[in-house]
Amino acid sequence: MPIPRLRPDDTLLLVVDLQERLMPTITRAEMVVHHAGLLVELAGVLSMPVVLTEQYVKGLGPTVEPLRSRLAGAALRVEKTRFSGLVDPVRAFLDRSGRRNVLVCGCEAHVCILQTTLDLLGAGFVPWLVTDAVGASSDPQIPVALRRMEAAGAIATGVMSAMYELLGDARHDAFRACLELAKQVRRE
């Protein structure tokens, strides 16, 4: 069995539910949003598609401003009420993309991230959990959810690790741009 690897031409980014009224309840919310923003910029630099979900916008509000301005219409946005982000429009987009690796970031680890990841695995995708860009309202929920997802077959990574794996070589055309992003990764 081949070892899963991140490559820009076979990877896309899924940003799950980083919304205005939810983020005040999330521990380390600023770091999660910051790192998700770096992933959005990375996707732009490497020409990777971005999908963004929003859970019950009427109640939780839209995606937080720092991400909205970075996306500027470059992502597919899907409103949902299901906890899983693998709703029909997202699944159709993933299928059309032909990409099997899905970088997953957002909230909450033990609810929408967990259910999205399990559904991605069930549909034959390879979810990569960007752990320093995943949050929850209760810190103790995060490691339990991550262990469950990894046991099911998801792969844990970090923003910086994913960035350098996607580049693969310091001679990559996007290395300088990514180096500037890497310098912004928080080490909290």
Report residue 188's pLDDT band, with 50, 70 and 90 as the boundaries.
low
Q: Which long-range contacts (CB under 8 A, 24 or more apart) does 171-178 make?
A: 174/45, 174/46, 177/45, 178/42, 178/45, 178/46
Q: What is the DSSP letter of 81?
A: S
Yes or no: say if 64 and 24 are a contact pair by the CB < 8 Å rule: no
| Ordered alpha helix ranges (H), the chain | 29-45, 57-60, 65-71, 88-97, 114-122, 141-152, 159-167, 175-182
Mean pLDDT (whole number) for 5-20: 97
Yes or no: say if 94 and 124 are a contact pair by the CB < 8 Å rule: no
User: What pTM, to 2 d.p., does this model score?
Assistant: 0.96
Mean pLDDT (whole number) for 144-167: 97
32-88 pLDDT, tens per residue? Answer: 999 999 999 999 999 999 999 999 999 999 999 989 888 866 688 999 999 999 999
Q: Of all residues in the chain, what percent carry a pLDDT higher than 90?
A: 90
Structure-block tokens of residue 50: 């971005």
In the chain, how many H helices and how many E strands? 8, 6
Q: What element of type H or E holds 157?
A: strand 155-157
Pairing status of strand 50-55 against strand 11-16: parallel
Q: State the catalytic residues.
A: 17, 80, 112
pLDDT of residue 69: 85
98-120: b (≥16 Cβ within 10 Å) or e: ebebbbbbbbbbbbbbbbbbbbb
111-138 pLDDT, tens per residue? Answer: 999 999 999 999 999 999 999 999 999 9
